[in-house]
Chains A and B, each alone.
Chain A
Amino acid sequence: EADIYQTPRYLVIGTGKKITLECSQTMGHDKMYWYQQDPGMELHLIHYSYGVNSTEKGDLSSESTVSRIRTEHFPLTLESARPSHTSQYLCASSPSWLQGQPQHFGDGTRLSIL
């Protein structure tokens, strides 16, 4: 049973559209993350947040933006989608970094930009 939810699961949309990928978790975790993963490839961190009103860019440069207005919600937005944004986007959360708590992942959103 998933405690972290991503919508939509799949999205096919045209170039230039504004897209928001939703991510919500019900575990009360402070830490949330967005990863980008091309098929069969490694995960790359694109954004993370350590709490409300806290957002940072990850290792992989991304044209997307994120917001963290509520603890449980961490949406990712692409203002103008391009074919190069086609990928899978995984959201994750974790309760604490001090004890090396593992991250919990959502099911992912497969995004295709035509």
Chain B
Amino acid sequence: AQTVTQSQPEMSVQEAETVTLSCTYDTSESDYYLFWYKQPPSRQMILVIRQEAYKQQNATENRFSVNFQKAAKSFSLKISDSQLGDAAMYFCAFLLLSGSARQLTFGSGTQLTVLP
């Protein structure tokens, strides 16, 4: 079974600064995807960024980038130039591409506060 661990229940960052959210996972498989989702208060889950395990290049989406270390099974999210609208719960998720059941395994989440 796959597990996803987010060891930081809460993080805070000053507006315009950079923050890194940690995520580690455990799997014996080699073919999978990793995602970061954002969930603002009482709102939808929104996909922030995704990474294919077979790609060595780290994914980037505007101010969001990841540091994917496959050997270490680490997948951290870096948010640059933080904005007030970035405040949300962030979930790391793992999708295995083999086996009969293909659903996301989510971490416990990191609550990000952005300070003005």
Contact = CB atoms under 8 A, between A and B. Distances in A.
Nearest to A96: B102
Contacts of B35: 102
Q: How large is the interface on B (under 10, 10 to 19, 20 to 34, 35 or more residues)?
A: 20 to 34
Contacts of B103: 33, 45, 48, 58
A2 B44 contact: yes
Interface residues of A, number: 25
A42 B89 CA distance: 10
Contact of A40 (B52, B89, B101, B104): B89
Interface of A: 2, 31, 33, 35, 40-45, 48, 56, 58-59, 90, 92, 97-98, 100, 102-103, 105-108
Given A2-B44, A102-B35, 14 more contacts: A40-B111, A41-B108, A42-B106, A90-B45, A97-B95, A100-B32, A100-B95, A102-B47, A102-B50, A103-B47, A105-B37, A106-B44, A107-B43, A108-B44
